[in-house]
Amino acid sequence: MRVERIAGRGSPGGARGAVISARPLPEVPPKPPLLRRRRFLIAASVLALAMAALIYMGVRSTAMYHMDVGELLAQGSAAYGEKVRLGGKVVEGSVESPSSGNEIRFNLTDGTQSVPVVYRGVVPDAFEPGADVVMDGALSPSGTFEASSLLAKCPSKYVPAP
């Protein structure tokens, strides 16, 4: 119980700080812990949903399925000029590097079908015949896949050099 103190001038007896009134002040009830917990849970839920939405939008915009050679060729003329990501294995003995230095030609296969590829740019160190590669580019009407980027997959098992 709180008591109100009033320091009064001219109070009877002239005492300063004397208790004039002993009436109790209304106490402020403490907030129940359930309300605090509920508020915290709501704020945490909103924050978690916002973070999940941002992660989903970021992954969705950068994730791109890569098709194999058979899927690309099955599209026929509808695939001409469409930017796609193509994955497969470099055919052994098909790699040609003209004297220009920054262009490479090879065939890409999925095991059953193959497509000729031309790439102009820096060739990754891991690129070699028989390597798995993933490329961005488009199929030209001549049937050649013109790659704008070339990524060579690293082998999943490390084998030390002899």
Q: CA 107 from chain center: how many Å?
A: 32
Q: Is 1 exposed, middle or buried (0-12, 13-18, 19+ CB in 10 A)?
A: exposed
Dist CA 83 CA 105 (whole Å): 19
| pTM (2 d.p.) | 0.58
Dist CA 121 CA 133 (whole Å): 15
Assigned token pair, 98: 């003209």
Residue 51 has pLDDT above 90, yes or no: yes
Top pLDDT among 126 and 8 is at: 126
pLDDT digits (tens, 9 = 90+) for 97-156: 877 678 899 999 988 999 999 999 888 888 888 888 999 999 999 989 999 999 888 766
3-state secondary structure of 48: helix
